[in-house]
Structure 1
Amino acid sequence: MDKGEESSMREGYVDWRSRPAQRGRHGGVCAASFILVVEILENLAFLATASNLVLYLSKFMHFSPSSSANIVTNFMGTAFLLALLGGFLSDSYFTTYCIYLISAITELLGLLMLTVQAHTASLNPPVCMSVNRNVSCEEVDRGKAVMLFAGLYLVALGVGGIKGSLPPHGAEQFDEHTLHGRKQRSTFFNYYVFCLSCGALIAVTFVVWIEDNKGWQWGFGIATAAILISIPTFILGSATYRIKIPTGSPITTIVKVLIAAINQSRASRKTNNAIENMSTTPSNTAGASDEEHAKGMTEIQTVTEDLKFLNRALDTTPTPPWLRCTIKQVEEVKSVLKILPIFMSTIMLNCCLAQLSTFSVQQAATMNTKIGSLRIPPASLPVFPVLFIMILAPVYNHVIIPFSRKLTNTEMGITHLQRIGTGLVLSVIAMAIAALVEIKRKSVALQSGLINSTEPLPITFLWVALQYLFLGSADLFSLAGMMEFFFTEAPFSMRSLATSLSWASLAMGYYLSSVLVQLVNSITAAYRHTPWLYGSNLNHYHLERFYWFMCILSGLNLLHYIFWARRYSYRTSGANYQKEIQMGNESPDV
């Protein structure tokens, strides 16, 4: 093994055959390009299923509008939450390479089930009957519903694994030891969002049109073909990938440090004196094994003052061997805990984004969806933010970022937290616009005498495009900012899991949307005969009040975010960044 291979092993990277990765041969732009192409296909498959799903459930499976909305948010929430599982397995036991392949096959099986059900009339509920202008629909029975949900949640499991493994797999292709490599990694995250949008553009235009005009079996079939093609495409780049070696369960490290800190807090009141001694002597890994002590000599030699409670895990008081912690482990757990308030602050933003897949689509479905002689499917509304993202992402990467770097004379230019904060501000504006548009839509319904009708209203659906535009812009700033922030701020051994927090935030946002709908209905039903968001006719909903409520919550969340963001200090800047690089070079356990 030559020096380059030894260095690669110390850094924790191998090729797809588990041989040491070589600089110049593995990783770089070429390897990341395969991943970006795969992401286009993967997101096409996912959004071809999800973007129009609310109408499939309500019109073809005969669920109510509110039930359909909750099914969609639960499905998408589960898919994104399972990204944590994909990230955890990638860091712990498997590699990002293996997790992607397993997840893609799982998603393929789910899409096959949905395609077969949509194609087979006997697996769908009976067609609605019209009697005296009243439409009667029989909801899908239990057996058919089981097949529907089995297919959906197999897709969710596959999507979660892909989201948890593919972004960190791409980011790991770049050498973080150099400024050029870190800039390339930042570019990767921007173009990752760009490729997400490319897949979304095809899904919400071509595939949605196919679903509305040719049948859902064709839409699901295209999604199935896309994920099928992505598998050999990903494998084709195998020879160029460098793959991070799994380092064991990060959850175990986190739990170990927390339990050790609590245990030592109860066992001794003399922790502060012990910690002061540790921070100035080579015995800073006291309590660990001799092997861990040797490794600790190449690690950060001081204990930070952040989250001082966790420093008690380093106490010299006799502890069980399995609770003995090194400074490296304690500082890694601190890094994870410090990013959690930022993570929590992004959930409300994603709750707002959930409306784009539910009530916003249903709003557009009640309006005039024609542009000239061309009829636009309501589920194609996301084309507006998608196109905006596709234009803004390259402009942001090649114009705004270089200009801001020169202006601020810093490596990042615009910080990750500033990007996320911009997204939160845009989400507040978007929900206010959504409320105003819904007020206008209902006023038109009332004036035209169609308040009790399901006929299209004489108002263009382009009004709803305004909220899509602002929320799409918020998504661009927040998602790329979150992924890069969590990846760079997390310890090396926990990066896949940390990057998955971006998708977990989306998941919790979708779940929160479902909870808020149920909560609002429960509370409003207590003083009204009819809840705000109940019934089969959207014109009878008080959706504008719900949007104002979301706007207020988003504003309060923005204040919460500012509180934590102003107090956050980046661990991967200046001297701290060089220490992280040194640990990656010298410590064998990473």
Structure 2
Amino acid sequence: MSIQMTDQFCGMQEAQKADNTTDGSVDLRGKPAVISRVGGHRSLAFTLGCIFLIRVAYDGVTYSLVLYLTRKLHINNSKAASDVSNWIASTTIFSLLGAIVADSYLGRYWTCLGSMIIHIIGLLLIITTTALPSLEPHKCTGSSVGCTETTGRRLNVFYLGLYIVGVGFGSFLPCLISFGADQYDEGHPVEVNQKSLYFSMLYVAISSGGLIGNSIIIYIEENISYKLGYAISVGFVAFALLVYISGTPYYRFQKPRSNPLARIAQVWVAAARKWRIKVSAPDNHLYEAPVEKEGIRKLVHSNQFRFLDKAAAVISSPEEVNESQRNPWKLCTVTQVEEAKFLFQVAPIWLSIVIYSTLDVQILSLFVEQAATMDNRLNKFLVPPASMSIFQILAVCVCTFTYESVLVPFVRRFTGHPRGLTMLQRIGVGLVLIVFAMLSAALVEINLVRIANNHRLHNNPTSKVPLSMFWLVPQYLLVGASEAFTDAAQFEFFYDQAPEGIRGISTSLQLTAYSVGGYLSSFLIIVVTAITRHGTNSGWISNRLNNGHLDYFFWMLMILGSLNFVSYLAFSHNYKYKKTVPDQAATDPEQRS
């Protein structure tokens, strides 16, 4: 009997071990995560629900920001557009900070938790600038044109709160994206497909949250009070915090590893120390750790960027490769070298996304300013100009659903790819669509200025041009369709292709592309304004848009986006998808493409 019970116990242990994840993740108690108990779709409602609620609050501030700056703080159009671009850029820069903290010290779970608390603090500070008489913007009777621009403590406290929100949201987003993907084990055949679906659902959740933020929250801000709108945003973030904590027993956790930036720096230093040596037979003379640690899979050595292979070259005594004695600043593993190579390999793709985001960010600034000059009546209902982005969000949701349910099965017949198109092909589709969005914006602006001139409204900043704001719908739909292809594929690409040790950095890298794109947009606006505004000429981006040539700026962006797509074709064609040990080339669907 005892022998039989022992055999049964051992059999149960073996079965449970077989059901453990292969990526080193653990459950709440710190034990190896069991696939049938934690993670997977069990955690989906909590992670996606959390990001949905956070996005409602964030977009409720973001999409009305340019109008708050111009109408309440009385900042001129070009400076307001530049400030919005700078804030968006800074917000995504903070994602890099969040990724480093999560990967190296706190882990993704605790970093997400802390980021939401910071987000709430920033929103509360913004609310004080709308509630306290000593901080709220000064009133301006009549037209806001010619009002004194808000400066000093009023403006500084508002921007302080705004940038604290940026720290919170920027740190939160890459960590939660990666944390949600961590719930799916790449070594499990079923969860591999579930993870790909997760990224599509993730972007739908982000867009759906934006739909609420861009409709209900913005309507409250513009028609009732900004103070009430910002207070509701605080409530959404607080509820998101509660949802996130409620899912804790169902999560899988990845332990923090060594600092990813330090790991990459070690490769550079070790390679520089051996710059004189030649690696004649890389596969035979490069060092790799004898065992996998903390769920990090070994990467296959590649022949790209061979100068970094010197970091893993073994040139001295056997003691050099002893794990307990090895100096990582002198000798690195092949997997560590491949992590450093990854950043070089995706750099051209990253640059293409920078240009893409330069065009995409216009939906938060110039598109809104363009809408503000037009007739915003829908029967007797006045539609807030910032709420036009509802059409962008609807396009994201519809295109994502159509792609997953209709296009994937159809395109799969021709490509043989289980996802219809590869990740890079989906990004390319988005790059094309954003160019057509700029074309649509330019054509509408030409018609808008023509009508303003015919009605002698080009010098009357307070009058609405008798052209319906809904003529802007096509450009918003094109931007949304573009994001449905590009953004979801980017999230998946920068997570899936990154080695396990630098996935947080990789996810934030994709977000920093939007940051640099935002700064580039701000730079272009400043340069174009400086060059085109002289004397009585108000320039392309005038304080009175109908007296300028905003269409010229959109034409310029369209040309920039077209050149970006051409260069992207060359970069993406030469990209090679990653391999791990054992070689997965035969089974990796992306590799076959």
Normalised to the residue count of structure 1, the TM-score between the two structures is: 0.90
Q: Deviations over 1:481-523 (max 9, x none)?
A: 0010111100011112212222212211111110111121233
Report the alpha carbon displacement of residue 178 of structure 1 after superposing the two structures with TM.
3.0
Matches within 5 A, 1:211-360: 211-265=221-275, 267-268=276-277, 271-273=278-280, 276=281, 278-280=282-284, 284-285=286-287, 292-293=289-290, 303-317=301-315, 321=327, 322-360=329-367
Match of 1:49 in 2: 61
Sort the Cα spacing of 1:573 and 1:382 in 2 relative to 1 into closer, same or farther, 3 A. Answer: farther
473, 482, 491: which one pairs with 1:465?
473
504, 508, 523: which one pairs with 2:516?
508
Match of 2:464 in 1: 456
How many aligned positions are there? 564
Match of 2:85 in 1: 73
Report the alpha carbon displacement of residue 314 of structure 1 after superposing the two structures with TM.
2.4
Check whether the contact 1:191–1:394 (CA below 8 A) recurs between aligned residues. no
Match of 1:381 in 2: 388
Matches within 5 A, 1:114-125: 114-125=126-137
Check whether the contact 1:427–1:471 (CA below 8 A) recurs between aligned residues. yes
- The residue type paired with residue 185 of structure 1 is K
Aligned-partner SS, 1:244? coil
Report the alpha carbon displacement of residue 32 of structure 1 after superposing the two structures with TM.
1.7
Report the alpha carbon displacement of residue 392 of structure 1 after superposing the two structures with TM.
2.0
Aligned: 1:498 with 2:506: yes
- The residue type paired with residue 111 of structure 1 is L
Report the alpha carbon displacement of residue 30 of structure 1 after superposing the two structures with TM.
1.6
Check whether the contact 1:15–1:241 (CA below 8 A) recurs between aligned residues. yes
CA distance, structure 2, for counterparts of residue 314 and residue 100 of structure 1: 35
Check whether the contact 1:104–1:231 (CA below 8 A) recurs between aligned residues. yes
List structure 1 segments (4+ residues) > 6 angstroms apart after TM superposition.
Answer: 578-581
RMSD, aligned α-carbons: 2.5
CA distance, structure 1, for counterparts of residue 583 and residue 396 of structure 2: 33
Aligned-partner SS, 2:34? coil
Deviates more, 1:472-481 or 1:397-406: 397-406
Aligned: 1:475 with 2:475: no
- The residue type paired with residue 127 of structure 2 is T
Report the alpha carbon displacement of residue 180 of structure 1 after superposing the two structures with TM.
2.2
Report the alpha carbon displacement of residue 532 of structure 1 after superposing the two structures with TM.
2.5
Matches within 5 A, 1:422-441: 422-441=429-448
Match of 1:520 in 2: 528
381, 392, 409: which one pairs with 1:402?
409
Report the alpha carbon displacement of residue 187 of structure 1 after superposing the two structures with TM.
0.7
Deviates more, 1:330-339 or 1:403-412: 403-412
- The residue type paired with residue 36 of structure 1 is L
Q: Deviations over 1:463-496 (max 9, x none)?
A: 1222111111111111100010111100011112
Match of 1:191 in 2: 201
Check whether the contact 2:438–2:554 (CA below 8 A) recurs between aligned residues. yes
Sort the Cα spacing of 1:463 and 1:149 in 2 relative to 1 into closer, same or farther, 3 A. Answer: same
CA distance, structure 2, for counterparts of residue 470 and residue 576 of structure 1: 40
Percent identical among aligned pairs is: 30
- Structure 2 unaligned residues grouped into runs of 5+: 1-9, 321-325, 589-593
356, 368, 372: which one pairs with 1:361?
368
CA distance, structure 2, for counterparts of residue 302 and residue 229 of structure 1: 44
Sort the Cα spacing of 1:101 and 1:134 in 2 relative to 1 into closer, same or farther, 3 A. Answer: closer
CA distance, structure 2, for counterparts of residue 518 and residue 140 of structure 1: 20
Report the alpha carbon displacement of residue 135 of structure 1 after superposing the two structures with TM.
5.0
CA distance, structure 1, for counterparts of residue 453 and residue 401 of structure 2: 44
Check whether the contact 1:487–1:499 (CA below 8 A) recurs between aligned residues. yes
Check whether the contact 1:129–1:135 (CA below 8 A) recurs between aligned residues. no
Sort the Cα spacing of 1:65 and 1:299 in 2 relative to 1 into closer, same or farther, 3 A. Answer: closer
- The residue type paired with residue 212 of structure 1 is E
Match of 2:192 in 1: 182
Match of 1:549 in 2: 556
Match of 2:45 in 1: 33
- The residue type paired with residue 556 of structure 1 is L
Aligned-partner SS, 1:14? coil
Report the alpha carbon displacement of residue 316 of structure 1 after superposing the two structures with TM.
3.2
Aligned-partner SS, 1:464? helix
Aligned: 1:102 with 2:114: yes
Report the alpha carbon displacement of residue 18 of structure 1 after superposing the two structures with TM.
3.0
CA distance, structure 2, for counterparts of residue 176 and residue 294 of structure 1: 19
Match of 1:584 in 2: none
Q: Deviations over 1:103-122 (max 9, x none)?
A: 00000000011112112343
Report the alpha carbon displacement of residue 71 of structure 1 after superposing the two structures with TM.
1.4
Sort the Cα spacing of 1:206 and 1:295 in 2 relative to 1 into closer, same or farther, 3 A. Answer: closer
Report the alpha carbon displacement of residue 241 of structure 1 after superposing the two structures with TM.
0.4
Check whether the contact 1:90–1:96 (CA below 8 A) recurs between aligned residues. yes
Normalised to the residue count of structure 2, the TM-score between the two structures is: 0.90
Sort the Cα spacing of 1:431 and 1:494 in 2 relative to 1 into closer, same or farther, 3 A. Answer: same
Check whether the contact 2:88–2:515 (CA below 8 A) recurs between aligned residues. yes
Deviates more, 1:13-22 or 1:102-111: 13-22
- The residue type paired with residue 283 of structure 2 is S
Check whether the contact 2:92–2:514 (CA below 8 A) recurs between aligned residues. yes
Matches within 5 A, 1:135-214: 136-214=146-224
Report the alpha carbon displacement of residue 311 of structure 1 after superposing the two structures with TM.
1.4
Q: Deviations over 1:526-548 (max 9, x none)?
A: x7664624543122222111111
Sort the Cα spacing of 1:574 and 1:528 in 2 relative to 1 into closer, same or farther, 3 A. Answer: farther
- The residue type paired with residue 202 of structure 1 is I
Check whether the contact 1:279–1:301 (CA below 8 A) recurs between aligned residues. no
Report the alpha carbon displacement of residue 257 of structure 1 after superposing the two structures with TM.
1.1
Sort the Cα spacing of 1:111 and 1:533 in 2 relative to 1 into closer, same or farther, 3 A. Answer: farther
Deviates more, 1:399-408 or 1:25-34: 399-408
Report the alpha carbon displacement of residue 295 of structure 1 after superposing the two structures with TM.
5.4
92, 96, 99: which one pairs with 2:104?
92
